[in-house]
Amino acid sequence: MAQLPNALTLLRVCLVPLFVLFHYPIVVDDRTYWAAGWTFALAAITDFFDGYLARRYGLVTRLGKLLDPIADKVLITAALVMLVEIERASAWVVIVILGREFAVTGLRALAASEGVVLAAESLGKWKVGAQITAILMLLVDHFWFLPGLRLRPLGTFFLWVAMVLAVVSGLQYGWNYWRSSGEAAAG
């Protein structure tokens, strides 16, 4: 049980190539996008459970703290880039979201090198929720049992929400860093 959260994180990393494989099949049809959607959903669920189990049962490890954000970024980056390639997501929206991811990761690394911890913010968690929702809707696009219902417009809406939350939460991280580094310099 002690290593279960880390095992779930590693499973998420291992699911990324499978997700990519389903996304780039030899024969493209709705079933392959559904398989990619289910694989992505399973990976997203592991993201929730690894963190929950680690915090709930005191199983937080240094390895988990390192691997979890990397696994998240690999999964989200792969999904967003593939959605741009199949023209289900706007490239500039994805660039803004991924730019924020790399900027915040760099800022957190800089803060850590100065002994400052930039904890995850609630807006960042909402951003992740909007991203996961958008990716699933944009991948699947429709249900075979409801042929007239298209999910892409709603997925696009959630991707825009994710972009706005990415920018706002990125600014929040910047503000928190500026404030905490000022306090560290004064103290």
Q: What is the pLDDT along the chain (187 residues), one digit of tens a residue?
A: 668 999 999 999 999 999 888 877 566 667 787 888 899 999 999 988 998 999 999 998 888 888 888 899 999 999 999 999 989 999 999 999 999 999 999 998 898 888 888 877 889 889 999 999 999 999 887 666 667 788 899 999 999 999 999 999 999 999 999 988 776 556 5
Q: What's at 70, amino acid-wise?
A: I
Distance CA 167, CA 175 (A): 12
- Number of residues that make up the chain: 187
The answer to whether the CB of 151 falls within 8 A of the CB of 141 is yes
* Residue from 158, 154, 130 nearest 142 by CA: 154
DSSP, res 88? S
pLDDT at residue number 120: 78
The pair of three-digit structure tokens given for residue 94, joined into one six-digit string? 């994805």
Q: ∠129-75-68 over CA atoms, to 5°?
A: 80
pLDDT at residue number 86: 87
Q: 146 forms bridges with which residues in the sheet? A: 143
pLDDT at residue number 22: 83
pLDDT at residue number 34: 82
pLDDT at residue number 8: 94
pLDDT at residue number 150: 87
- The reported pTM is 0.88
- Interhelix angle 62-85/30-56, rounded to 10 degrees, is 160
For 61, phi then psi, to 5°, come to -125, 165
What does R_g of the chain's alpha carbons equal in angstroms? Answer: 18
pLDDT at residue number 131: 98
